Amino acid sequence: MELKHIPVMVEEVMDLLRCEPGRTYVDGTLGGGGHSEEILKRTDPDGVVIGMEWDQKAIDEAGKRLKPYGGRARIFRENFICLPEILKTMEIKSVDGILLDLGLSSLQLEREGRGFSFRGEGPLDMRMDERRDCTAADLVNGLPLEELERILFEYGEERWARRITRAIVSEREREPIQTTRALSKIVYGAIPKKFQSRKIDPATRTFQALRIRVNEELENLKEMLESGWKVLRKEGRMCILSFHSLEDRMVKEAFRKLEREGVMHILTKKPLTPSEEEQKKNPRARSAKLRCAEKI
């Protein structure tokens, strides 16, 4: 089966980025290259995309997709927080737009062996960048109970964090928890049946929390929100697509702070959300929120 990631809110993102030839855009979360390809099409013949991505498999995918655009697509296997250094090495002082499309791509979620999905069986890994050394199994088997509970509660907004953590700790005392299925089973057993939703898998929040911690997603976003605007030219724009409330809140608050400081102007007073038609076609789009701010 061919795996595919459908880019989210493409028209809205492109409008906000005001893609035009001759301009330079940063795609900080290149993924399969869906948004980047759209930028390259709309900035023909000489617009440039600097794509950053830390997952080698996604880089390979995007590399194939963007090959027809030759040197207009510059791809780096880096954490997006390295953007200022990358621009320095390229001798670029400022860019016209920055896009972040946060979270996982469908390619990561669905590919066996990465451990992101509670559906299939796989090693409890969850690293987007396989060069990092801490996996979800390391956290689940090694963290003290209180720390694990805090992660599930804060990053997963999981109201059953205490029960789930206790169940994890009692299981790991018997034997280490090594697979996604083993962890899902523990979560199913820990949440009282009458509180288990039929629509949302009960393991969703636990998996989300561990993934955020393994990849230090909130720390990276925080750093980009604090420093990304500095590399934008005047009137350059930053667009961020987020998929859960923790991230959306961080983006909203950071943009407000930058507006108070007089360095950015918010263009989306309320976040934009996908049309009903898009939500029907692409279930992954359902929780998307798009915010944009412009440098003053």
Ligand X SMILES: C[S@@+](CC[C@H](N)C(=O)[O-])C[C@H]1O[C@@H](n2cnc3c(N)ncnc32)[C@H](O)[C@@H]1O
- Interface residues with ligand X (CB under 6 A) are 5, 7, 29, 31-35, 52-55, 58, 79-80, 101, 103, 105, 108, 128, 220
Query: Would you say 289 and 8 are in contact if contact means Cβ atoms under 8 Å apart?
Result: no
Name the minimum Å distance from CB 5 to ligand X.
Answer: 5
CA–CA separation, 29 vs 284, rounded Å? 16
Taken as a whole, the chain contains a residue count of 296
Whether the ω angle into residue 274 lies within 30 degrees of 0, i.e. cis, is no
Of the candidates 9, 5, 81, 17, the one whose C-alpha atom is nearest the C-alpha of residue 43 is: 17
CA–CA separation, 89 vs 113, rounded Å? 35
Which of 58, 182 has the CB closer to ligand X? 58
Q: Are strands 264-266 and 289-295 parallel, antiparallel or unpaired?
A: antiparallel
Name the minimum Å distance from CB 160 to ligand X.
Answer: 27
Of the candidates 294, 231, 223, the one whose C-alpha atom is nearest the C-alpha of residue 264 is: 294
Of the candidates 59, 54, 218, 33, the one whose C-alpha atom is nearest the C-alpha of residue 129 is: 54
Which of 178, 282 has the CB closer to ligand X? 282
Which of 129, 259 has the CB closer to ligand X? 129
Name the minimum Å distance from CB 182 to ligand X.
Answer: 25
**Residues forming beta bridges with residue 294, ordered by sequence position:** 237, 265
Which of 187, 212 has the CB closer to ligand X? 212
CA–CA separation, 110 vs 80, rounded Å? 23
Name the minimum Å distance from CB 159 to ligand X.
Answer: 27
Name the minimum Å distance from CB 137 to ligand X.
Answer: 19
Which of 33, 236 has the CB closer to ligand X? 33
Name the minimum Å distance from CB 205 to ligand X.
Answer: 19
Residues 6+ apart with CB under 8 A from 165: 145, 148, 149, 152
Which of 85, 235 has the CB closer to ligand X? 85
Name the minimum Å distance from CB 138 to ligand X.
Answer: 19
Of the candidates 165, 171, 169, 159, the one whose C-alpha atom is nearest the C-alpha of residue 196 is: 159
Which of 166, 222 has the CB closer to ligand X? 222
User: What angle do helix axes 180-190 and 161-174 make, rounded to 10 degrees?
Assistant: 130
